[in-house]
């Protein structure tokens, strides 16, 4: 193959199932590099980013998740040859080994909390220039931001209370309205059912005006993407 497109890195010897296809329907194989196997397809050039190709990439990584916990490779990481790919991987061997150990036996879930009521700082014109009206508008905006931050903090505290010790790690993003928070959890496969039940309880007990969306299990994109 003249060029190589990688999808993920796994422990050496973990190979894709026969018939698995990736970008443009090309078969997925593996390259053994040091202690790792890299799932790849042959490609003449780096792919153009579009929804179809990103989904094809993702489906290969999901196939790896059915066998093990991979370190996903970011979309578009094409190399001109197996030799160059090998050099890149071996240069980062210690980093990749650490990432594989960190996510071994785990998957990622996402929890997103959205407000369906007006919240935060609304999209309004600039404050009127000068005088009392200007100061009142600034004060109103500051109070709206304060209330939004307090609401986000309360949501995150409730979420962590329901989570308990079921999450091995987390990544938190505070969202623009109407979103509130998005949290990625790294969860051991053995407690996946308990985790789902905990998040379902969190969703049921959400205050009026809040909606909770749970997604996963996913590859550990938020924790180990290479």
pLDDT of 5 over the 70 cut: yes
Average pLDDT of the residues in 46-69: 95
**What pLDDT, on a 0 to 100 scale, did the predictor assign at position 121?**
45
Domain 106-224 CATH (choose: 3.40.47.10, 3.40.50.150, 3.40.1260.10, 3.30.70.260): 3.30.70.260
Q: Is the pLDDT of residue 1 over 70?
A: no
- Could you tell me the residue ranges of all domains in the chain? 4-103, 106-224
Output the pLDDT for position 144: 76
Q: Is pLDDT larger for residue 224 or for residue 42? A: 42
Q: What is the pLDDT of residues 164-220, one digit of tens each?
A: 999 999 999 999 888 999 999 999 999 999 999 999 999 999 988 899 999 999 999
What pLDDT is attached to residue 197? 96
pLDDT of residue 85: 96
Give burial (CB, 10 Å; 0-12/13-18/19+) of 37.
buried
Cβ neighbours of 225 (radius 10 Å) = 16
Report the pLDDT value the prediction gives residue 118, as an integer from 0 to 100.
Answer: 53
Bond into 119 cis (ω within 30): no
pLDDT in tens, 155-178: 999 999 999 999 999 999 999 888
Q: What is the pLDDT of residues 11-49, one digit of tens each?
A: 999 999 999 999 999 999 999 999 999 999 999 999 999
Task: Establish how many alpha carbons lie within 13 A of residue 106's alpha carbon, considering only the half-sphere containing its beta carbon.
Answer: 25
- What is the model's pLDDT at position 130? 61
Would the pLDDT of 9 be above 50?
yes
Per-residue pLDDT tens for 115-153? 886 544 445 556 555 677 777 777 778 887 888 899 999
| pLDDT for residue 226 is more than 70 | no
């Amino acid at each position: 193959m003249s060029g190589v497109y990688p999808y993920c890195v796994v422990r050496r010897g973990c190979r894709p199932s026969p018939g698995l296809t990736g970008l443009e329907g090309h078969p997925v194989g593996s390259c053994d590099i040091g202690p790792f196997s890299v799932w790849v397809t042959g490609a003449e050039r780096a792919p153009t980013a579009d929804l179809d190709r990103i989904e094809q990439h993702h489906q290969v990584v999901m196939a790896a998740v059915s066998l093990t916990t991979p370190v996903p490779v970011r979309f578009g990481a094409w190399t001109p040859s197996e030799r160059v790919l090998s050099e890149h991987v071996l240069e980062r061997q210690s980093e990749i080994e650490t990432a594989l150990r960190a996510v071994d036996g785990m998957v990622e879930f996402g929890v997103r909390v959205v407000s369906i009521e007006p919240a935060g700082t609304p999209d309004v014109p600039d404050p009127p220039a000068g005088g009392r009206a200007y100061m009142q508008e600034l004060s109103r905006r500051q109070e709206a931001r304060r209330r939004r931050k307090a609401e986000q903090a309360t949501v995150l505290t409730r979420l962590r209370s329901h989570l308990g010790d079921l999450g091995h790690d987390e990544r938190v993003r505070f969202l623009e309205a109407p979103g509130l928070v998005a949290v990625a959890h790294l969860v051991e496969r053995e407690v996946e059912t308990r985790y789902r039940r905990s998040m379902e309880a969190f969703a049921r007990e959400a205050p009026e005006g809040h909606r909770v969306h749970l997604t996963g299990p996913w590859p550990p994109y938020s924790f180990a993407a290479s």
